Amino acid sequence: MANPEQVRAALKPVLDAECSWLFKCCTTGELAQQLGPATSSDCADHLFQSSTVSYPYGLVSNASTQNLLAVLNYVQYGFDQAAVKIDMAAIMACAAKLATDDCNPAPPADHCTPVAPGPDDPCAIDKLLVGSLQKGADCTAYGANQCAPGLFCKAVANEVGVCIDQPAVGDLCLRDEDCGSYVCDWSTGKCAAGAPYGEACAFTDPDHPVPGSESIRCQPPLACDTVKLKCTDPNCASGINCSSDSQCPAGVSCVMNHCGPLREVGETCYQPDDCADGTCVYDSVSMRQLCTAPKALGASCNGSPGECASGYCGFDQTAMAEVCLATLKNGEMCQQGANCTSGKCGTDGKCAAVAAGDDCATDSDCAPSHDLFCVELACTKAPFPDGTACVADTQCKSQACAAQKCAAKGVAKDACGTPADPPCDTGFYCDVPAGKEAGKCAAKKAQGELCSKDVECASNCQASHGALRCAGEPAGVAMCGG
């Protein structure tokens, strides 16, 4: 007979421990965004309620608690002591573990470090809720496993199932779901244990190690690192999806949204940073962006000096097209500094030597194509320190040229918003009062803080529990969850 109050009372120690963690580790804004008006005294009741009226994910960051909330409805309204028993010793062990969990660490600023699997999770759902139905018994295929340890509920029609043996090594399979806690060996079509953490794994095509094509697979939930060919942390492995280098292990980068080595000549790319040689060019034959080696003299180019081994792409009168051209030696006739080896075409129309410190009146007396500009009547090598005259952001070490001088990017309370002001630095935004054109740099707001526009937040400003709040944390700040 269903008894929701009995079930809630039995499971409450776990929810109380989860709530204690939330109020220990989350800021006021994070709590407001995730739990709305919940307080420390009624937090557990809110979590219980969330499982009956909405999707519980996002309220807590602990995967085990999410799983418990996800099956709570099936348990509390279909509870039958003959089918599922709540193991109170396991409940208390789980609560004790949650009570001692540390707060989440700040995300890595550079690259992540793989973490070896820890001991068995005392909060695993099958430890808290233990089935008792024997082999061949009818069962509900979703929610808590109603079948006795060693058995699982195999769905046969909608939510109706039957208790059968857990899959074993050597059983036939077509997919991992057929193998329970094992993996499906695609080469044999049989369940296999998989290689443990740190052991070797392999791919069917060693030259193209793509996740999903392993010939030697790893134990769940480990991933096969496509560079080291070792089973490792699935959250920090070469081959996984990524959006930044910080999500990838040391030694590889986020290339075309996957952690891996830089692309070689002839391989596809999205941007120059994807290529080992730094050159990503559209190829009209394959109609793709490809990593391209610097081109030889006479090869077609698109105006970018980086395309050419000579460092000069110019218009050729004979070919009537832009091609890679040789640069001219000092003393040879020139039309512009870009086609001189020195970077300077003198007033006499000849390539001339130039060096930092030489006298000058304008940039043309120096070598702008070689980052030598005329500053205070002397050729000066860019990038420039703050306070140096400039005409472009790229000339400054700070990457900010304001009022024709290099300037440090703004931090908290620095002026911003006018042409004379440098932009605010990473992690800050220009806070301009209503009706004004200028303002002050302010730190990006933390997750859950009230906001009115996306620029105030690390990610975006979105509605949550009746107010607009920032959805993500600034770089380097740990999120408590959600």
What is the tens place of the pLDDT at every residue in 397-453? 999 999 999 999 999 999 999 989 999 998 899 999 988 989 999 999 988 999 999
Cβ atoms of 28 and 448 closer than 8 Å: yes
**CA–CA gap between residue 276 and residue 128 (Å, rounded):** 51
> Where does residue 327 rank: exposed (0-12), middle (13-18), buried (19+ CB within 10 A)?
buried
DSSP class of residue 440 equals E
pLDDT higher than 90, residue 217: yes
Cβ atoms of 271 and 293 closer than 8 Å: no
DSSP class of residue 195 equals B
| Per-residue pLDDT tens over the stretch 249-266 | 999 999 999 999 999 999
Cβ atoms of 240 and 222 closer than 8 Å: no
Share of the chain above pLDDT 90, in %: 56
At position 373, the amino acid (one-letter code) is F
Question: Is the pLDDT higher at 195 or at 312?
Answer: 195
pLDDT higher than 90, residue 317: no
**CA–CA gap between residue 8 and residue 21 (Å, rounded):** 19
Q: What is the mean pLDDT of the chain?
A: 89
User: Which of the four pLDDT bands, split at 50, 70 and 90, describes residue 79?
Assistant: low
Predicted pLDDT at 223: 96
The neighbour count for residue 97, using CB atoms within 10 Å, is 16
Cβ atoms of 343 and 329 closer than 8 Å: no
Predicted pLDDT at 80: 64
Mean of the pLDDT values across residues 202-222? Answer: 94
DSSP string, 82-143: TTEEE-HHHHHHHHHHHHHPPPPPPPPSS-B------SPPTT-HHHHEEE-BPTT-EEESSS
Residue (of 272, 271, 301) closest to 284 by Cα position:
301
User: Which of the four pLDDT bands, split at 50, 70 and 90, describes residue 118?
Assistant: confident
pLDDT higher than 90, residue 277: no
Assign 257 to helix, strand or coil. Answer: coil
pLDDT higher than 50, residue 102: yes
Mean of the pLDDT values across residues 344-348? Answer: 89
Predicted pLDDT at 482: 47
Mean of the pLDDT values across residues 191-219? Answer: 95
**CA–CA gap between residue 247 and residue 224 (Å, rounded):** 16
For the chain, the distance separating the N- and C-terminal CA atoms, rounded to the nearest angstrom, is 35
Of the CA atoms within 13 Å of residue 468, those in its CB half-sphere come to 12
Size (the chain), residues: 482
| Per-residue pLDDT tens over the stretch 4-26 | 888 889 999 999 999 999 999 99
Of the CA atoms within 13 Å of residue 313, those in its CB half-sphere come to 16
DSSP class of residue 388 equals S
